[in-house]
Amino acid sequence: MKLFVGLGNPGDKYARNRHNVGFMAVDRIADRHGFSQWRRRFRGLVAEGSIGGERVLLLKPLTYMNESGRAVGEAARFLKLSLEDVVVFHDELDLAPGRVKVKTGGGNAGHNGLRSLSAHLGNEFIRIRIGIGHPGSKEAVIPYVLHDFAKSDQEWLEPLLDAVADASGRLAAGDSARFLTDVARSMRGPERAPAPAEQAVVKPVATPRSHPAGERMGKRQSALAENLKRWLAGRSKP
């Protein structure tokens, strides 16, 4: 069994915040794979189902971001899961918007939700890092992550959530490399076959043909020019 955790803050106020992209990811997985209705358990909301024959429990902590570890730790201990069975979807400032990477363990890069998970669960859980971009300065980070995605972000956000949901079976099977490959392929869209090369039709260059009338006209003009030249030369003598 796998535990898929989405990080975010509960309530309509935060629902479309950048910080809630983890919630959005597990919501999309639940919708795409026909999971059960959400219900309260483990200090959060859970939904049950299977993906590719693998049992998966989705969890959205209701403890707010800074205390996410309390809910996740409780669920993991009750279900007797190892850390490699815990997959956490979260926002990542250090990745460009729309980029996705997978990481096991490591630092938390100032992310309070990850810090709480490490404190209550251990550090070697699997992280699905969903890039939201960085606002450019440390002072701007909090208002940035606690602000809704911009309208322009929907162009990559919705396809990305679909791609993550479609590829989540790879995570359920423990194949994070294939998960990334499938997400990248979905985001690129169907590869366009190269258009057949058009065969260039090369027409022979026609050799200019002499025209009798043109030749006669040319000779007359030359004769007139020669006569005019002689006449002018005669007038210029003293």
**Residues belonging to the active site:** 19
CA within 13 Å, CB half, 117: 31
Residue at 221: amino acid letter:
Q
Separation of alpha carbons 157 and 152, rounded Å: 9
Angstrom CA distances, 41 to 46, 60, 197, stand at 6, 10, 60
- For residue 91, give the 3-state DSSP assignment: strand
Q: Measured on CA atoms in the order 12, 18, 21, 24, is the torsion positive or negative?
A: positive
Q: Beta strands 39-41 and 100-104: pairing type?
A: unpaired
Closest listed residue to residue 62, CA positions, set 53, 74, 51: 74
